[in-house]
Amino acid sequence: MTEITDVFFDLDHTLWDFDRNSGLTFKKIFQEQKINLDLDEFLKVYEPINLEYWRLYRDEKIEKEELRYKRLKTTFDKLNYTIEDNLIDVISEDYINYLPLFNHLLDGTIELLEYLKTKYRLHIITNGFEEVQKIKLEKSQINDYFQVVVTSESVGVKKPNPKVFEFALKEANVSAEKAVMVGDSLEADVLGALAVGISPIHLFKDTPSSDEKIISVQSLLDIKQYL
């Protein structure tokens, strides 16, 4: 990767510790709204449901409001917890407002960004909501590392749609051949980047890519071997 000049990062699950921050957000909401559910049990059911609804949202099959409501409604129904729709709406709104106030990063984030910032221009490409992602970057104090921040909402389509990556390349004024994309999602980040000629690095949690041509790392600091 000697010709690389720019590194694009996904945000949630890649730099920003989404699972930890999300859990803390629900803990705060459950206390305020007196939700009588075991938090760990709730999260165990909610997290895969949330991922599935995000896939539907990413594939343009549901709108943002439907995602926010149904991921909660489906979880409470599966747990046989009776709750009024208006309270689900309150929880949904509080979740969006509280989530970016927690600022835990994945291990190695700051060390990696410090290492890379003198060698490359750094950027963000995220499918997260516009109003939330900017606050996450600011509150976690990593905003200044990045020159270009592209959210899917600002483009009108979501990763892995090539238009998101093409828009980001144009904003950063760099060709695909000189760029790397780091992300946790094999479909959205890795395959999306490959489709436009950007070299991907897959940050995997459980299973690395089976494609030997794709660089897979299990921790952020492993990326230093390649960049």
What are the two backbone dihedrals, phi and then psi, of residue 155, each rounded to the nearest 5 degrees? -95, -30
What are the two backbone dihedrals, phi and then psi, of residue 114, each rounded to the nearest 5 degrees? -65, -40
Tens of each residue's pLDDT in the chain, 227 residues: 779 999 999 999 999 999 999 999 999 999 999 999 999 999 999 999 999 999 999 888 999 999 999 999 999 999 999 999 999 999 999 999 999 999 999 999 999 999 999 999 999 999 988 889 999 999 999 999 999 999 999 999 999 999 999 999 999 999 999 999 999 999 999 999 999 999 999 999 888 888 888 999 999 999 999 99
| pLDDT of 211 | 85
| pLDDT of 63 | 92
The DSSP-derived string for 41-110 is HHHHHHHHHHHHHHHHHHTTSS-HHHHHHHHHHHHHHHTT----HHHHHHHHHHHHHHGGG---B-TTHH
DSSP 3-state of 23: helix
pTM: 0.93
| pLDDT of 205 | 86
